[in-house]
Chains A and B, each alone.
Chain A
Amino acid sequence: MGLRWYHFAMWAGFIALMYAMPELVSKGTLRTFIFANFLAVFAISWDVLSGRTGYISFGHPFLIGIGAYTTAILTKRFDVAIEISIPIAVVVTMIASTLFILPALRIRGSYFALVTLAFMELIYQLVQVIRPDLTGGTRGMSGIQTLTRGAVNGYYMSLSLMLAVAISMWLLMRTRVGTALSAIGMSEDSVLGSGLSTTRLKLFAFLTGAFVAGLGGAFYVHYLGSIAPRALFDINFVFTIIVAALIGGSSTIIGPMVGAFFLTYLLEYLRPYLPGAERYFIYGGIALLLYMYQPKGIYHIVMQAWERFKPGKSA
């Protein structure tokens, strides 16, 4: 896979730093980090599904929500153990993602983005009216079993999840399948003309993205202990995920992580000045400027500098 010593060194340094974090920062900051970890998982998932293939999903919370609701309902209403309900939630999310593949086989570009947005709106409406005794209707659910107590444990849990997802996706996307998925985003016709079944590749991207989204959604709901449809199936949430992936750097794994931490921090930093949703004004403004300046994201800006003094300048 072309792993080099500095890959190991960077991952090791990063992991060590992240695990030492509870010693270095306050509990309040740690809570911010927890959100950043989850956001990184969602952004990586979005990037695997959309960032590479160019099939932009504006309905990612649809997948996250299915994972979250499945495990929440199973544990709370049917007393299923978490160890069983989370895998089920992941599988259900992956099955639900095949609903995305149907439009992706026939339509491209803007149309696909719209269908996914409609999917999110549909499920938002559905959870409120179909079996509110199970879903909690408009108010959602609370008192869902949590996996951890306290900020420190919550942090370790979210960090481990994030690292597991990041490293496995990083390894997966370094193989030729990552190249093939990115190729779809650049010219789908040429991928087909290279003899590769784009249907199968897209299905793979959607299933992998859904796997991560479902996993992230399930863990997230067992961290929060509650679920609220309005906050989950929200255009602001879509926006935060996509911007994290893009600002950091699409088609990479580090990029969405960087973006998630950058944005969570920005949002937290703005809190004293702008306590409510109006924070998104500045947040969005910065995102827009960064995006218009360099659509490939922060990762790309840093990489250009790195290329200049890369150890063992061979490839």
Chain B
Amino acid sequence: MEMRSNHAKLQVHSLTKHFGDLGVLVDVNLSVENGYFVSVLGPSGCGKTTFLRIVGGLESVDAGEIVIDGHPISGPGRDRSFVFQMDSLLPWRTVWENTVLGLEISGTVSDDKDRAMALLKLVGLSGFERYYPKQLSGGMRQRVNLARALAVNPEVLLMDEPFSALDAQTREVMQTELLRIWENGRKTALFVTHQIDEAVYLSDSVVIFARRPGRVQEIVRIDLPRPRPLSIKRTPHFIEYVDHIWKLIEKDVTAPSNVCG
């Protein structure tokens, strides 16, 4: 974790957040370099969503600062976009209308139309422009969410367990798809998950969150070559990373001070 690095795209300084008496995040510090794919991994309830919402400017902080390209943020901004965990498509809009929602809001649909169309093609939804969300499978919906987030051409892509509602097979497909799409442009990405193998497979670095209160326990650099085929999950190197992270998390989960209650 290099603090205040020169090529830092995203910096988190001494972030602290409480909900009433509950300390959700305490003194979180992080720096993410431009073009890196970083996962935030932790058990549920450890504050991952809160953390990501704060970075997205959707939640206030008690103390600390989020800096993007050297500028502290003060709310949502066009430099970041979000892929949510919950179903987030506007049901009355078609695939195309959902994809260009952010462009409509910034008034740039006509300028960015070609790029949005290329994006729909990239996420594999050419030909589905006029479909409504109810006509799509869960995986297809998350593809649209991804296209919508990328359409505004953000500096940082924020994803909160985007595949957690999908079945195991679709989830693996979407992981490879996400990497394929991400390779095309390599935007700085912050990806929240509670699945170790997902974090290892996708990321350049995995930030392990400890819980109660949420804080950075450890950062594990993943030195696996890219592009990564799905079969990489069966290589000894990959399995070592997963084991290593398991042991780190196990310590936190089984430590007596962290027992629920």
A and B together in one complex:
no
